[in-house]
Amino acid sequence: MNELDFEAVKHYILTRLARELPDDLPYHGLHHTRDDVLPAAERLGKLSGLNGEDFLLLQTAALYHDVGYIEQYACNEPVGARIAEETLPGFGYSSVQIEAIRAAILATQMPQAPRTALDQLMCDADLDSLGRDDYLKTSHDLRDELAAHGTVIPLKTWYERQWEFLSGHTYFTEAARKLRRAKKLENVALLESLLNKM
């Protein structure tokens, strides 16, 4: 195993996100990576028994998964995968490790299509908020962000689409299902309630 300098990677990416992300990302801002997806990936990784190199690869993928937003809004995942490919050799990552990270980043594109256990953990970490208490707030942040980028969706339509998405969504990993499934079902019921009042 190479000597991976994860702390240097973390500093590098969080600094770039803080400096280079556009201001009109209430959902996909720095906080989404730093305070949401990275901790979720670490939590799910530990619950799944991941350690050593695989755990570091998951953490690294979580850091890079939305860095593509510094260049473009739509189809940002291939950009993030490219930035990972360009920069990670400088932090001691091998081509095999970088390919696993690239695949995990690309797997988060909608509709999600994970192929490996690492991909599945990354996808579940990215949608961790679906099964949390702050789901409605993050949902509204995403709606506001889409509006800022030219896609205005009426609230009722938004709730209908969110209900449809959550109702059809299943977490890929046992860890995420145990941790978030019950609250996600509550969030489906919350959306139903909001729609019934409209």
What per-residue confidence (pLDDT) applies to 2?
A: 53
Beta strand ranges found along the chain (DSSP E): none
Q: Please state, in angstroms and as integers, the Cα–Cα distance from residue 7 to each residue in 11, 30, 116, following that order.
A: 6, 17, 25
pLDDT for 3: 76
pLDDT given at position 55: 96
Closest CA to 122 of 168, 60, 80: 60
Residue 20 tokens, joined? 């280079």
pLDDT of 64 reads 98
pTM assigned to the model: 0.95
Distant-in-sequence, close-in-space partners of 193: CB < 8 Å, separation ≥ 6: none
Over the chain (198 residues), the average pLDDT of each successive run of 10 is 82 97 96 97 97 95 97 96 97 97 97 96 98 97 97 98 97 98 98 96
